Amino acid sequence: MLKKIGVSSPWDLFSDIPRELILEKPPRIGYGRSLSEYEVSRIVNSKLSQNRLFLDPPPFIGGGLCLHYVPAVVEHLVSRSEFYTAYTPYQPEINQGLLQVLFEYQSLVADLLEMDVVNASMYDMSTAVAEAVLMALRVTKRRQVLVPSTMHPEHYEVLKTWLLGHDIKLVKLGYDRETGYINREDLDRKLAANDTAAVYIEIPSYLGFIETEPEYIAEQAHKHGSLLIVGIEPLSLGIIKPPGRYNADIVVGEGQPLGLGLNYGGPLLGLFATKMDRKLLRQLPGRLIGVTKTIDSEREGYIMILQTREQHIKREKATSNITTNEALMAITATIYLSLLGGKGLRELAESIWIRSHYLANRLSELPKVRAPLFSSPFFKEFVVEFPIEYKYVFEKLLEKDILGGLGLEGPPLYNSRACLFCVTELHSRKDIDRLVEAIGEIL
Amino acid sequence: MKTTWKQARWNEPLVYILGSKETTGYTIPYYEELAELKKKLGYTPREELGAIYRDELPEIPGLSEVELVRHYTRLSQMSYGVDIGPVPLGSCTMKYNPKISEELVKTPYIQTLHPYQPEESVQGLLEILYELEQWLLELTGMDKCSFQTPAGASGELAGALMIRKYFRDRGEERDEMLIPDSAHGTNPASAAMAGFTVVKIPTSERGTIDINALKSALSSKTAGIMLTNPNTLGIFEDEILEVEKLVHETGALLYYDGANLNGIMGIARPGDMGFDIVHLNIHKTFSAPHGGGGPGAGVVCARGELVDYLPRPLLVKKDNKYVWDYSCSKCIGRIRAYYGNIVPLVKAYIYLASLGGELVREAAIQSVINTNYFIALIRNIKGYELPYDPDKPRKHELVISAKPLARDTGITAEDVAKTLLDYGLHAPTMYFPLIVEEALMIEFTDTETKKEIEFYAKVLEEISKRAYSGDKSLKKTPTNTSIERLDVVYGNHPRNVAPTYRVYKRLRGEK
């Protein structure tokens, strides 16, 4: 090869790099030499096996992510290397299969949300929230954004970071201590000046409770020219009214419950949807797959559409810088949803609702335990308040090999006696009873 | 040369046609307990949720397991990745994804770990991440990395925000970001998201940044410059030390876009070139797969004072334990939830541990040999030219222009790209960078075989011959793929825009 190139040494191909920049020796990385596959497996497995698993019982910890079951068939199909070794389908004719799956993803999520437009994925829910807010600012050209005080604290931090480069007022809405709901007078007051770009709400909220009349918030927001952004949990939509029904303009969510592992928090899947409205569509971030025809009009096929919004064409005028997204996670969600179907989804959501309520009921039987802390309906996650410091309960549970709920000593509750429990389809009655008994003993 | 390659053509219908919302292939765990638990509760979801209960089943079609497997296996067969053949998309670094990496991450010791479980219970994983960070620091010449950023563009946004915050803290009003006209589109997009005004710097005839233009663009308003080196033409910015001096002298910072690191990894380091912030594309340079568009991981690293501005939390070692450090007096905060895209990061660890320093350097050298070997093979083919100093060696990639071909025969870069598909080859990146007309941007990476590179060159020659012989069928390629050439205009027409099945049905007057 070198002969054909016309050089005698490969280093001739680096002669344009200033000599002082060339490293004298190869970098000191790895284990000082190359490793055989067996050696590297042994090293990695031995390190990973130092991690402590909580599978019996499954973890009761939540905070935006909970452990769900990933069916073997989902894992199997998403391991097809035609999918995972592909690039973004820039050449649609040779990647129709991948494009069709992504179109199915957009379509299935759209039907789950009853929203018309779903993009091909965002990194995670936190960045989807940030992108939704940036989009609302572009659409309305306003400078204030209202968010619930009870929102996921990390999502709030991400939003703050993403807004660093903009002169924007990020305002928290007060909430009712009894129900967790957004304080309506506060909402009305903050909307009154007609300078709010968007109102963001979560259904269910980070703390698990469910605002049962989002219609009021939607109407108020729209009356004052603001957009309504709704954050959802996808499995809950098996039993909860979809945001399209109460007039949400933008919907975001965390797609992890749709067949993804926890993986210590990443990769995840940011769901992002809007209404079919030209003004919104023009400002949509991320990739979009659509239906087209062959040039001879004989057949239908799929391509990436409305690319003139994207960075490789619009550069600094693009709606977002996102390029690499979470396509493989979107494929996972597609396969998972197609395995469940509408009825399966409803039954799964019901089972999670039943199990989480069963735990809440059992805990409420313990003396001086408030479960759930909020009086409103909830799904999957809920807040429990103990008569003692939760940190102590958590540590004692760990001793019993139980990963308990997430302590809420920090934002948004600042309550060191409270925690957020998560119950999913994985928790059998026995698992739940075991947790309750353990807590009973600790208290 | 005849091609016999044919891609699967299943004419596979949408899942909506195959399934029904009453069908499910999923069995709810501990299903038999539910009736009794429900009875114990004494109320139903409908009763508790009231007005916000969903009355109708979601319109999600369900399939039995065997139907599901066939549907998605067929769709996979109509997809094309590195495991099928070469994907020499420029600036995408589509190298082979080792199977050992895929296998090792499929373990409950990663998959079931919750981001909020105690640090003491994930020491094994944190140790892997910590060692990975040390290796990435060695490769970049930086002081500290943050794993937060899930992709390259996210690393850029983090970097641009760090620069913004840095100058704000110093009370300096600098709101211009300099970006070469050959840069990846994400650079200006990220800079704009961080609130900067983008100032475009032209490329000189040598294919590198125009130093005089840079000099006149630099001012007290300049916050920084975003560069990728080697640049998107595959040319090393040989005046980088001069650029560094000029930029730093005006008090501005240098950002390194790591998308193109593959040709120099282990040979030269961005830190030694004077860059202050670097992002790395774990899914490019370090062999984690692209997943059909993602997930990636875009580790962002910094030097000196800029470390204080990295997104938090950072991984540190304290009393022989690995812990997340949330302290943040100057940092930009979080760029996403939790810690980062852990799975691709572990794959990068496996890759680097397997190779070690010498083979990492060897990989870079091989990628550069592959690029220049390919140039030697196509240099004299009629219809293509190598713009910008054709005698200069390229690094990880090259950009050819099909302008002569288009001018002489009417066959464009797009036609060439589409025809390549008919030979079972993925096309290069086309029409990028924007400074090259009829551009075809090609990156074989270190893992492509000599045979495939030679075949690719042969096919380009064959296409040129066909074009010059007046073969009009080149306008109608591909025909060996699962579908013929698609009409991009039709699908983008406001009347036809159908991003979901529900919109598609409505456009056709169906319910």
Closest to B76 measured CA to CA, from A334, A70, A257:
A334
Average pLDDT over residues B326-355: 97
Would you list the DSSP string of B15-82? HHHH-BTT------TTGGGHHHHHHHH---HHHHHGGGB--SPPS--B--HHHHHHHHHHHHHT---T
Residue A65: both structure tokens together: 């992510």
| A363 and A371 Cβ atoms separated by less than 8 Å | yes
Q: Does B400 touch chain A (CB under 8 A)?
A: no
Cα A285 from Cα A289, distance rounded (Å): 13
Determine how β-strand B314-318 pairs with β-strand B321-325.
Answer: antiparallel
Residues linked to residue A117 through DSSP beta bridges, in sequence order: A274
Residue B245: both structure tokens together: 């001096």
pLDDT at B314 over 80: yes
DSSP state of A120: S
**Smallest Cβ distance to B100: which of A40, A295, A426?**
A40
Determine how β-strand B277-280 pairs with β-strand A196-203.
Answer: unpaired
| A386 and A364 Cβ atoms separated by less than 8 Å | no
Determine how β-strand B300-302 pairs with β-strand B144-146.
Answer: antiparallel
Residue B55: both structure tokens together: 């009355």
Residue A223: both structure tokens together: 């009356």
Complex confidence, ipTM: 0.98
Cα A382 from Cα A361, distance rounded (Å): 11
- In this structure, what are the phi and psi dihedrals at residue A77, rounded to the nearest 5 degrees? -70, -35
- Going from the first residue of chain A to its last (443 residues), give the mean pLDDT of each consecutive group of 10, the final group possibly shorter: 96 97 96 97 98 97 98 98 97 98 98 98 98 97 97 98 95 97 97 97 98 96 98 98 98 98 98 96 96 94 93 87 96 98 98 98 97 97 98 98 98 97 98 98 96
Our CA-based measurement puts residue B177 at a distance from the nearest CA of chain A, in whole angstroms, of 11
Above pLDDT 90, what percent of chain A?
Answer: 97
Chain A to chain B, count of Cβ pairs less than 8 Å apart? 714
User: How many other C-beta atoms are found inside a 10 Å radius of the C-beta of residue B430?
Assistant: 20
Contacts of A55 in chain B (CB under 8 A): 108, 112
Amino acid found at A291:
V
Contacts of A116 in chain B (CB under 8 A): 499-500, 502-503
Our CA-based measurement puts residue B430 at a distance from the nearest CA of chain A, in whole angstroms, of 9
**What is the CATH number that goes with domain B359-490?**
3.90.1150.10
Cα A215 from Cα A222, distance rounded (Å): 10
Helix/strand/coil for A287:
coil
Residue B176: both structure tokens together: 């211009």
Would you list the DSSP string of B356-415? HHHHHHHHHHHHHHHHHHHHHHHTT-TT-B--S-TTSPP-S-EEEE-HHHHHHHS--HHH
Q: What is the dihedral of CA B239, B243, B246, B248, to 10 degrees?
A: -140
Predicted pLDDT of residue B2: 59
Sign of CA dihedral A91, A92, A96, A102: positive
Predicted pLDDT of residue A293: 97
Cα B327 from Cα B331, distance rounded (Å): 9
List the 247-306 stretch of B: residues with Cβ below 8 A of A.
264, 266-269, 272-273, 281, 283, 289-296, 298
Put simply, the answer to whether B502 touches A341 (Cβ < 8 Å) is no
Q: What is the dihedral of CA B499, B500, B506, B508, to 10 degrees?
A: 70
Our CA-based measurement puts residue A108 at a distance from the nearest CA of chain B, in whole angstroms, of 6
Our CA-based measurement puts residue B81 at a distance from the nearest CA of chain A, in whole angstroms, of 4
Helical spans, DSSP H, in B122-259: 123-140, 152-169, 186-193, 211-217, 240-249
Cα B251 from Cα A33, distance rounded (Å): 41
Q: Does A410 touch chain B (CB under 8 A)?
A: no
Closest to B178 measured CA to CA, from B268, B242, B243, B101:
B243
Q: Does B236 touch chain A (CB under 8 A)?
A: yes
Cα A128 from Cα A130, distance rounded (Å): 5
| B288 and B344 Cβ atoms separated by less than 8 Å | yes
Put simply, the answer to whether B486 touches A92 (Cβ < 8 Å) is yes
**Smallest Cβ distance to A34: which of B72, B112, B356?**
B356
Tens-digit pLDDT profile for residues B42-77: 999 999 999 999 999 999 999 999 999 999 999 999
Tens-digit pLDDT profile for residues A30-43: 999 999 999 999 99
Q: Which long-range contacts (CB under 8 A, 24 or more apart) does B186-189 make?
A: B186/A311, B186/A321, B186/A323, B186/B152, B186/B153, B186/B156, B186/B257, B187/B156, B187/B226, B187/B228, B187/B257, B188/A311, B188/A315, B188/A316, B189/A311, B189/A314, B189/A315, B189/A316, B189/A318, B189/A320, B189/A321, B189/B153
Our CA-based measurement puts residue B304 at a distance from the nearest CA of chain A, in whole angstroms, of 19
Which CATH fold would you assign to the domain B108-354?
Aspartate Aminotransferase; domain 2 (3.40.640)
Cα A424 from Cα B55, distance rounded (Å): 22
Residue B300: both structure tokens together: 């962002």
Question: How many residues in chain B?
Answer: 511
Put simply, the answer to whether B293 touches A67 (Cβ < 8 Å) is no
pLDDT at B511 over 70: no
> How sure is the predictor about B1, in pLDDT bands with cuts at 50, 70 and 90?
low
| B311 and A161 Cβ atoms separated by less than 8 Å | yes
Domains by residue range for chain A, with CATH: 72-335 (3.40.640.10), 342-442 (3.90.1150.10)
Q: Does B349 touch chain A (CB under 8 A)?
A: yes
Residues linked to residue A383 through DSSP beta bridges, in sequence order: A420
Tens-digit pLDDT profile for residues B193-221: 999 999 999 999 999 999 999 999 999 99
Query: At B324, which helix (H) or strand (E)?
Result: strand B321-325
Query: At A58, which helix (H) or strand (E)?
Result: none
Residue A245: both structure tokens together: 């029904």
Q: Does A9 touch chain B (CB under 8 A)?
A: no
Task: Kindly identify which residue of chain B lies nearest to residue A422, measuring between CA atoms.
Answer: B114
pLDDT at B187 over 90: yes
**Smallest Cβ distance to B24: which of A45, A340, A350?**
A340
List the 193-222 stretch of A: residues with Cβ below 8 A of B.
203, 210-214
Which of B7, B20, B113, B328 is the best residue to mutate to test the A interface, defined by the most A CB atoms within 10 Å of its own CB?
A: B113
Cα A204 from Cα A144, distance rounded (Å): 24
List the 359-398 stretch of B: residues with Cβ below 8 A of A.
359-361, 365, 368-370, 372-373, 375-377, 392-393, 395
Would the pTM count as exceeding 0.95?
A: yes
Domain definitions of chain B by residue range: 15-77, 108-354, 359-490
Tens-digit pLDDT profile for residues A126-169: 999 999 999 999 999 999 999 999 999 999 999 999 999 899 99
- In this structure, what are the phi and psi dihedrals at residue A131, rounded to the nearest 5 degrees? -65, -35
Predicted pLDDT of residue A314: 85
Predicted pLDDT of residue A309: 86
Task: Kindly identify which residue of chain B lies nearest to residue A119, measuring between CA atoms.
Answer: B499
Our CA-based measurement puts residue A193 at a distance from the nearest CA of chain B, in whole angstroms, of 26
Tens-digit pLDDT profile for residues B439-483: 999 999 999 999 999 999 999 999 999 999 999 999 999 999 999
For residue B188, say if its preceding peptide bond is cis, omega within 30 degrees of 0: no
Q: Does A267 touch chain B (CB under 8 A)?
A: yes
Predicted pLDDT of residue B435: 95
Tens-digit pLDDT profile for residues A258-278: 999 999 999 999 999 999 999
Task: Kindly identify which residue of chain B lies nearest to residue A127, measuring between CA atoms.
Answer: B336
Closest to A17 measured CA to CA, from B270, B298, B131:
B270
Put simply, the answer to whether A26 touches B94 (Cβ < 8 Å) is no
Contacts of B19 in chain A (CB under 8 A): 338, 341
Put simply, the answer to whether B89 touches A87 (Cβ < 8 Å) is yes
Residue B73: partners with Cβ closer than 8 Å, 6 or more residues away: A77, A80
Put simply, the answer to whether B112 touches A67 (Cβ < 8 Å) is yes
pLDDT at B3 over 70: no
